[in-house]
Amino acid sequence: MKRRGRMGAIGCLLASMLLAGAIVPANAAADSTIAVISDQEAEDVIVADQEAEDLVAPSEEDLLSAQAIEGDISFIEQDGTTQTLSGSDFKADLAQVSGDSVTLKDGWYYVSANKTFNNRVEVSGEVQLILGDEVQLDCKKGIHVTSSGSLAIFSEPGGTGKLIADASDVESCAGIGGNVGESGAHLVKICSGNVTAKGGVDAAGIGGGERDGGKGGDGGDFIMYGGTCNAHGKEFGAGVGGGNNGNGGTIIIYGGELSAYGGYYTALFYEGGGAGIGGGMASEFASGGDGATVIISNSTVEAYSTGGGAGIGGGGGEPRSFGYGGDGGTVTIKDDSTVYVNTKTNDESEPGWAIGAGNDGDNTKGSVSLYDGAVVIQDPDGANSKFATENDRIKYCRESKVIKIEPCKHVNATYSKSATGHTLQCAYCKADDGTKEPHVFDGDNYCVTCGYHLNAPHFKRANLVLGERIGLTFWADLPTLVGVDYGDAYVELSVGGKRAHEACGGR
């Protein structure tokens, strides 16, 4: 609660008092630990490092409750394929671990049924976790992953496994990531499944914990390949990225859907917040965390912030203590991704920039790059939505408060057309590189893209006169430009210059 002491505002003090009563100390963690259960016998169970974690060994009863996993377990890998492991490949089925605590060390874990851990789950080493379909793993005080640990999350093939890591009542600790003063995990990876992560006061949803003294916990690395993720920072923490004062880390979204919400803090005449994706907010004469290195590829991302944090970029500033907002990060948006950013969901102070610095940060730093076919829409939700022109797209990203980036639909585009194809001329994106594309015709012979009308059908006729009175006429639909389709061709018999049908009186 250090930072609130100097705020002085009555509201802050009240808030502090209220919070102090409600908050469980970060290291109240575990009063006992069921640890990693091996794939062998009960005696193979590895008890967590008691000295480091101040934990008590699990009871005999707890150990016996952990059973070996029978049969194979399939799951969605990061490349989207379904993979299968044998039950003996797993260290434990967490659903069979009794008690409220667990420490996961190197290896694979499975969750076969709903399970709740009321203490903070500890991850040390390289841990892979497969969530059973329709199963929820509820970590009531979040998951502690140190900067040397990694956590990879998968679901069974239905993709419906769910992990909730909610540290929102654990001050200073990330939902998934560092404790107070610690950076985020070496790597948090979501390959499939549905993850919700909520940080405690001044910590990130996924990433760093609150600062301890000077610099806050940086974000660590976060990679998504699929599934869904909702990440909420609290107060000065980023949704995904740094805790209070912490930098953003590296965040790569290769697939799936991420929604990230920076924290928000308000008191009398004062408010602040972390970035949706990026740095935590400034405090105590230290600047806000700088933005992350962010790559979004073939994905859907929403980033929200309020109180001064950037949507994607730096944490908010704190003018009262001369803490400037964090700078923007390096942001690359590729491969038809859709990105929505809103930095003014709830605040009255100056919001941060959509993709760039937090308020009072240096918005000339950092960079944004977009795929050629992206359109940038400012204030996309309201009646005043405005498309950035092709050359303003980056400027709009950096200097707007609410934007949407999505594949351009080339509204009001013009096309140079010829019989052999069309060439796009769009004012809002860079997809108009002069490439001529072939027409694609609908059933009425209009190009669905450029509207070019094929001058067809061309009924061509060839008469073959057989004597004076009898002729054969070959009719065919001969579109000359897109190949020839003789599907409608037919032969007509005429007698005496009249169609046979007429000549015979309809008989």
Which positions touch Zn ion (CB under 5 A)? 408, 410, 422, 426, 428-429, 439, 447, 449-450, 452
CB of 450 to Zn ion, least distance (A): 3
Alpha-carbon separation of residue 419 from 327, 431, 451, 480, 488 (angstroms):
51, 21, 12, 10, 23
264 CA to centre of own chain: 20
Select 324 or 428, whichever has its Cβ closest to Zn ion: 428
Residues whose CB falls within 8 Å of the CB of residue 175, separated by 6 or more in sequence, listed in order: 142, 143, 165, 166, 167, 168, 196, 197, 198, 199, 200, 203, 204, 205, 206, 231, 232
Select 46 or 482, whichever has its Cβ closest to Zn ion: 482
- Measuring CA to CA, which residue among 302, 272, 301 is closest to residue 289? 272
Select 191 or 426, whichever has its Cβ closest to Zn ion: 426
Instruction: Quickly count: other Cβ atoms within 10 Å of residue 225's Cβ.
Output: 21
CA–CA separation, 40 vs 88, rounded Å? 8
CB of 274 to Zn ion, least distance (A): 34
Question: Look-up: residue for tokens 């659903």?
Answer: 95
Q: Phi/psi at 390 (nearest 5 deg)?
A: -45, -45
CB of 421 to Zn ion, least distance (A): 6
CB of 253 to Zn ion, least distance (A): 23
The total number of residues shown for the chain amounts to 507
CB of 437 to Zn ion, least distance (A): 7
CB of 481 to Zn ion, least distance (A): 11
CB of 443 to Zn ion, least distance (A): 15
Looking at residue 502, its amino acid is E
CB of 479 to Zn ion, least distance (A): 15
| 423 and 392 Cβ atoms separated by less than 8 Å | no
CB of 372 to Zn ion, least distance (A): 9
Q: Buried (b) or exposed (e) across 463-481, using 16+ Cβ within 10 A? A: eeeeeeeebebeebbbeee
Structure tokens at 230: 């909702």
CB of 297 to Zn ion, least distance (A): 20
CA–CA separation, 427 vs 174, rounded Å? 43
| 268 and 312 Cβ atoms separated by less than 8 Å | no
Q: Phi/psi at 398 (nearest 5 deg)?
A: -85, -25
Rg (the chain; Cα; Å): 31
Residues whose CB falls within 8 Å of the CB of residue 177, separated by 6 or more in sequence, listed in order: 143, 144, 145, 183, 184, 185, 188, 199, 203, 204, 206, 207, 208, 209, 217, 219, 220
Select 324 or 452, whichever has its Cβ closest to Zn ion: 452
Select 404 or 439, whichever has its Cβ closest to Zn ion: 439
Structure tokens at 128: 């892979």
Q: Where are the alpha helices (DSSP H) in 408-483?
A: none
Select 141 or 410, whichever has its Cβ closest to Zn ion: 410
CB of 429 to Zn ion, least distance (A): 3
CA–CA separation, 250 vs 329, rounded Å? 10
CA–CA separation, 193 vs 130, rounded Å? 9
